[in-house]
Amino acid sequence: MKPKVAFFDFASCEGCQLAILNCEDILLDILNLVNLVEFREALSEKAPRYDIAFVEGSIHRDEDIERLQNLRSRTTVLVALGACACNGNVQARSNFVAPAVNYEVIYGEEARNRVQVDADHWSLWSHTRVRPLDAVVKVDAYLRGCPVVPAEFLHLVKSVLHGTTPFFPPDAVCVECKKNGNECVLERGETCMGPITWGGCNSICVNNGYVCDGCRGTLPHANIDSHITLMREHNIKDEDIRNRYRLFLGAEPIGRGV
């Protein structure tokens, strides 16, 4: 019997699901091997249990926690799909700002006063933290990046179908960046998360003239202190270092570790 596969989303732009839907060349092959039972972007059907659930998005509200725990209880292999699910992503920056301040900055003081009397909406903004999936439930595998890399999605699906553990080499983005012959942006005094970030994206951002923001998350053996020292040695200010860590990782590096 074909394994039942489903896709779900929490707080996200749904770009990772779209990235997978756009893999037309590999998607048809995969669909021959699995039974796609839930995928809000493409199907209206529902199912009671899943062999593999791909879950996109970060967790914000009490109802998100309940829904994720329920999904976990009905799923054999739960995969965190993309940076929102793996590390909290850019929305986790709000963890560093009081919820009421966030709301006021976005919608203005008048809107904030209106929402304060509306308990249903206010609960969204008064919640304590934005979290990745593994802060709430056990996650069996991670597909990193913003958005995910289609080749890694294919590798993970094949591995699960063969009953093997998917392997993603724990090499830093710097390894791919050096292979690609890029000039290091640190030499120009720009922040870069490449030394501590999971590779696998072929250093795509640096190749195209930007820096690595660290969207693929922190390597398990990352030396945060050395990374901070390295950037300081290149005259990068602590404020810029802090902002870069907060951007995708929701992490406070200086003085506290990650």
Residue 186 C-beta: closest distance to ligand SF4, Å: 5
Q: Which residue lies nearer to ligand SF4 by CB, 100 or 211?
A: 211
Amino acid identity, residue 134? D
Q: Provide, rounded to whole angstroms, the least separation between the CB of residue 251 and ligand SF4.
A: 15
Q: Is 195 a residue that touches ligand SF4 (CB under 6 A)? A: yes
Q: What residues contact residue 107 under an 8 Å CB cut-off, 6+ apart?
A: 115
159 in contact with ligand SF4 (CB under 6 A): no
Calpha distance 35→44 (Å, rounded): 14
Select from 9-17, 106-114, 128-136, 153-161 the region that touches ligand SF4 (CB under 6 A): 9-17
Nearer to ligand SF4, 8 or 115 (CB): 8
Among 7, 10, 12, 80, binds ligand SF4 (CB under 6 A): 12
Distance CA 71, CA 75 (A): 6
Q: Is residue 142 within a helix (H) or strand (E), and if so which, with residue range?
A: strand 141-143
Q: Which of 52, 133, 137, 185 binds ligand SF4 (CB under 6 A)?
A: 185
> Is residue 213 within the footprint of ligand SF4 (CB under 6 A)?
yes
How many residues bind ligand SF4 (CB under 6 A)? The answer is 35
Q: Give the nearest distance from C-beta 75 to ligand SF4 in angstroms.
A: 19
> What are the beta bridge partners of residue 16?
none
> Where do the H-state alpha helices sit in 52-94?
62-73, 83-87
- Tell me how far, at minimum, the Cβ of 183 lies from ligand SF4, in Å: 7
Distances (CA, A) of 233 to 3, 186, 224, 226: 52, 9, 14, 10
Is 184 one of the binding residues for ligand SF4 (CB under 6 A)? yes
Residues 182-214: b if buried by 16+ CB within 10 A, e if exposed: bebbbeeeebbbbbbbbbbbebebbeeeebbbb
The DSSP secondary-structure symbol of 161 reads H
Amino acid identity, residue 231? Answer: M
For the segment 54-113, give every residue that binds ligand SF4 (CB under 6 A): 56, 82-84, 89
Instruction: Rule CB under 6 A: choose which of 68, 79, 115, 205 binds ligand SF4.
Output: 205
Residue reference for tokens 């050096």? 178
Q: Does 20 bind ligand SF4 (CB under 6 A)?
A: no
User: Is 249 one of the binding residues for ligand SF4 (CB under 6 A)?
Assistant: no
Question: 103 has which bridge partners?
Answer: none
Between CA 143 and CA 198 the distance in angstroms is 11
- Per CB under 6 A, residues contacting ligand SF4 are 12-16, 56, 82-84, 89, 145-147, 173-174, 177-178, 182, 184-186, 192, 194-195, 197, 201, 203-206, 212-216
